[in-house]
Amino acid sequence: MATAVSHEALVGGTLGRQPAGRAGFAGTVRSEFTKIRSVRSTYWTLLALVLACVGIGALFSWGQTERLLRIEGGRRFSGGQVPPGFAAHIANEIRSQAASISLFGLLIGQLIIIVLGALAITSEYSTGMIRTSLTVMPRRGTVFAAKGVVFGLVALVTGLVTSFLAFFAGQAILSSQHVSTTLGQPDVLRTVVGGGLFLAACGLLSFGIGAMLRHTAGAIAAGIGLMFVLWILSQFLPGPPSGWFGQADIDKWIPFNAGSAIWENQANGLHPFSPWIGFAVFGAYAAAALVGGLVVFLRRDA
């Protein structure tokens, strides 16, 4: 295709004179929002997040109703309905944890938001886009902040939507055995909002790791290791020798345990941190990753 070079267009066409001020945060935020909404992987990943959290939460809620039905030797009540007042202590236990039960899918959802958080920054490096991004906007602190804010907002909104959808789906299933709860019950709203906050913080933690490692696979592996593997290990490693300090003193600092304090039930005694303190600790981990990512982003050659 031979294209004549038209001088009018080169001269700038409709582009006016250079305005006052300088390229800054607002324009870069708009740019980053365009970036995140203009690639398909964003939508697929967010869809996967919603489906995983709602689906697994629904499955787990159904499992709890079955647990109630099959109490005492696996015998199932005819008609699939427990008699009123039957196994009241079990029913009460489920009811008290109904919000957390419906959010059980967040255990997997965190892994998906980790992928999205890492990709938000590592894809710039894997595609080579970073060279263009920093050439048109060389103020790196501004680019990092805009990227973080845009991803953080997308993660927060999606996290909250996911958490509420999972809650309502789970309660609909639990209500079949009258063990559901409502947003008006004590701590329930905090739990559901907390689920959204937790997902957003997971994403930002991964975003920070991604900025430090600049490598998609490495960042995802590190994020999953930190959130998931560390938590699994903490479940079956022996505690410290008696007389030092308690197992719980270590466990509560594990990122998943600290972060999930805000949406997991407190009844099982696994969370020595209160919900907001635990989340603050987790937020501090995410902040540390973001600061580390910013330092690397500012200093290393792109």
Contacts with other proteins, residue ranges (CB under 8 A): 1-3, 5-7, 9-15, 18-19, 21-23, 26-28, 30-32, 34-35, 38-41, 123-124, 127-140, 299, 301-302
CB contact at 8 A, 178 and 219: no
Q: For residue 227, give the nearest of 118, 94, 86 by alpha carbon.
A: 118
- To the nearest whole angstrom, how small is the minimum distance from the Cβ of residue 121 to other proteins? 12
Q: Which residues contact 269 (CB under 8 A, 6 or more apart)?
A: none
- To the nearest whole angstrom, how small is the minimum distance from the Cβ of residue 162 to other proteins? 23
CB contact at 8 A, 255 and 175: no
Looking at the Cβ atoms of 31 and 175, the one nearer to other proteins is 31
Looking at the Cβ atoms of 20 and 269, the one nearer to other proteins is 20
Residue 113: half-sphere exposure toward Cβ, Cα within 13 Å: 37
Q: For residue 210, give the nearest of 90, 114, 101, 75 by alpha carbon.
A: 114
Looking at the Cβ atoms of 27 and 239, the one nearer to other proteins is 27
- To the nearest whole angstrom, how small is the minimum distance from the Cβ of residue 24 to other proteins? 9
- To the nearest whole angstrom, how small is the minimum distance from the Cβ of residue 126 to other proteins? 9
d(CA 135, CA 228): 37
Looking at the Cβ atoms of 12 and 184, the one nearer to other proteins is 12
- To the nearest whole angstrom, how small is the minimum distance from the Cβ of residue 30 to other proteins? 4
Looking at the Cβ atoms of 3 and 78, the one nearer to other proteins is 3
d(CA 6, CA 23): 28
- To the nearest whole angstrom, how small is the minimum distance from the Cβ of residue 239 to other proteins? 45
d(CA 231, CA 222): 13
Q: Which residues contact 265 (CB under 8 A, 6 or more apart)?
A: 96, 97, 99, 100, 101
Looking at the Cβ atoms of 137 and 286, the one nearer to other proteins is 137
